[in-house]
Amino acid sequence: MRQSIVGGLSASLLFLCVAAAQAADIEVKTGPGPGLAVMIRLQGPFRQGDADAMRQLLARLKGQSKVSPDAPLATVELSSLGGDLNEGLRIGYLFRDYNVATVVRKKDICLSACALAFLGGTSTHGSSERTPSHRLEVGAKLGFHAFYLNPNSAQAPTTDDPLQGRRQGFTEARAATTAVMLYAADLGIDPRFVAAMMTKPQDAFAYVNTTEEFLTLKVCPIALARPAISAAEQAINICNHSTGWTDPSAPAQVRALTPRQAKRYMLENIQQNMSSLKVNGALSDQFASYPVMRDERAIDRLYADLRAAGVRLPEIVGPVFEVSGYRSGGEDMQCFVSLSPDDPNKYAVAIRRPTKWSHPNWSAPKDCRGLYLHDREAVINPRP
């Protein structure tokens, strides 16, 4: 039903860039084969018929596919200044339905209809779990703006009645807006972003530049460098993201701990809350023995045993930071982060509440966890 709404739009309202004579060029760079990922390049303006051509290609690839169930059918590189909105939405749905990942390379530009199609990039895990799979190399340009009437289209209103022309334009604009909103809902895109896009002037692009914009659109950056700030500030950013930025912490509220200090501190806290954790058996006996807290090897074993038993303690992968100043339901919370010094995508987070330890409220995207090291307003992709 929703895709039929897209297909019913008039071409007179669908051009998001200067009209061009030729359609988009679709090239298979790497063909299907054992152990080979299919790479497709789509470049040039989106024109009527491009979605049908893409559907035929993807259907053929699906029949030849030898990829694993956890891998996308193909990855499409996008490079286009825009074009037909209808075709952009239809291609985006094809990417979702055929399990196709999308990427914009460092030297490429993907605007308007291209940017909307890009958001359809999907990877299916197992038999049914669909997750967004659209990546942007740092340096690439991804931009959105509102659609507008292309007066040069053959389908543009030609009536001599100004009132009738305005009515027709309003009807088509409403249909196009509905199609974009439904597309966003189908892909799980924040409706506030779509509303902001629609209210921009026709010649003003909303580029994806900041951490918050990458997270809102679920775009994963490629080659994102670690921020040039201290490890303590990175820990604060992780905790602020993990708690939803409802009450962000400040540098004065972070405390550095060695891994040894952190383990002892967290175990002592659990020891004080044994009854609420309902820890029984051997673990309870270990906690009851105070000397265990003086033995370094015993501390390591006990910490590992508690994590194996399901207590939400963070994995220690490097320096540890305690970040305070958070509240939830009228209760104070502390956020604990252990940061790998070598891998910006490797860190562990746990939230300490008054009577329990828990996972954070929000988790970073699986394939680009390093986003959380950056402040939400930081420009992580240079502005054009």
Residue 80 has pLDDT above 90, yes or no: yes
Q: How far apart are CA 282 and CA 207, in angstroms?
A: 56
pLDDT tens track for 336-374: 999 999 999 999 999 998 888 888 989 998 889 999 999
Domain boundaries, the chain: 2-222, 231-373
Identify the pLDDT of residue 345. Answer: 94
What CATH number does the domain located at 2-222 have? 3.90.226.10
The answer to whether residues 32 and 68 touch, using CB atoms and an 8 Å cutoff, is no
- Mean pLDDT across the chain: 82
Is residue 383 very low, low, confident or very high in pLDDT (cuts 50, 70, 90)? confident
Identify the pLDDT of residue 270. Answer: 82
Question: What token pair was written down for 91?
Answer: 């291609």
Phi, psi of 100 (to 5 degrees): -115, 125
Residue 11 has pLDDT above 80, yes or no: no
Is residue 14 very low, low, confident or very high in pLDDT (cuts 50, 70, 90)? very low
pTM of the entire structure?
0.83
pLDDT tens track for 240-255: 999 998 889 988 999 9
**Amino acid at position 375, single letter:** D
The answer to whether residues 346 and 372 touch, using CB atoms and an 8 Å cutoff, is no
Identify the pLDDT of residue 131. Answer: 85
Q: How far apart are CA 225 and CA 368, in angstroms?
A: 11
The answer to whether residues 25 and 78 touch, using CB atoms and an 8 Å cutoff, is no
Q: What percent of the chain has pLDDT over 70?
A: 77
Q: What is the CA radius of gyration of the chain?
A: 26
Q: How far apart are CA 324 and CA 332, in angstroms?
A: 8
Residue 3 has pLDDT above 60, yes or no: no
Residue 309 has pLDDT above 80, yes or no: yes
Identify the pLDDT of residue 269. Answer: 84
Most confident of 129-133, 158-162, 248-252: 248-252
Identify the pLDDT of residue 382. Answer: 85
Question: What token pair was written down for 379?
Answer: 């420009």
Shortest CA distance to 64 belongs to which of 31, 91, 110, 86? 31
Identify the pLDDT of residue 33. Answer: 58
Q: How far apart are CA 257 and CA 263, in angstroms?
A: 9
The H or E element containing residue 296 is helix 296-308
pLDDT tens track for 213-243: 999 999 999 999 999 999 999 999 999 999 9
Identify the pLDDT of residue 258. Answer: 94
Q: What percent of the chain has pLDDT over 90?
A: 46
Calculated CA dihedral for residues 165, 167, 173, 177, nearest 10 degrees: -170
Question: What token pair was written down for 151?
Answer: 């007066």
Provide mean pLDDT across the span 112-123: 93
Shortest CA distance to 130 belongs to which of 142, 119, 117, 121? 121
Identify the pLDDT of residue 232. Answer: 96
Residue 202 has pLDDT above 80, yes or no: no
Going by the DSSP 8-state scheme, the letter that residue 315 receives in this structure is P
| CA separation, residue 380 to residues 7, 209, 364 (Å) | 36, 6, 16
Residue 293 has pLDDT above 50, yes or no: yes
Identify the pLDDT of residue 1. Answer: 41
Residue 180 has pLDDT above 80, yes or no: yes
Identify the pLDDT of residue 19. Answer: 41
Residue scoring higher pLDDT (15 or 302): 302
Is residue 70 very low, low, confident or very high in pLDDT (cuts 50, 70, 90)? confident
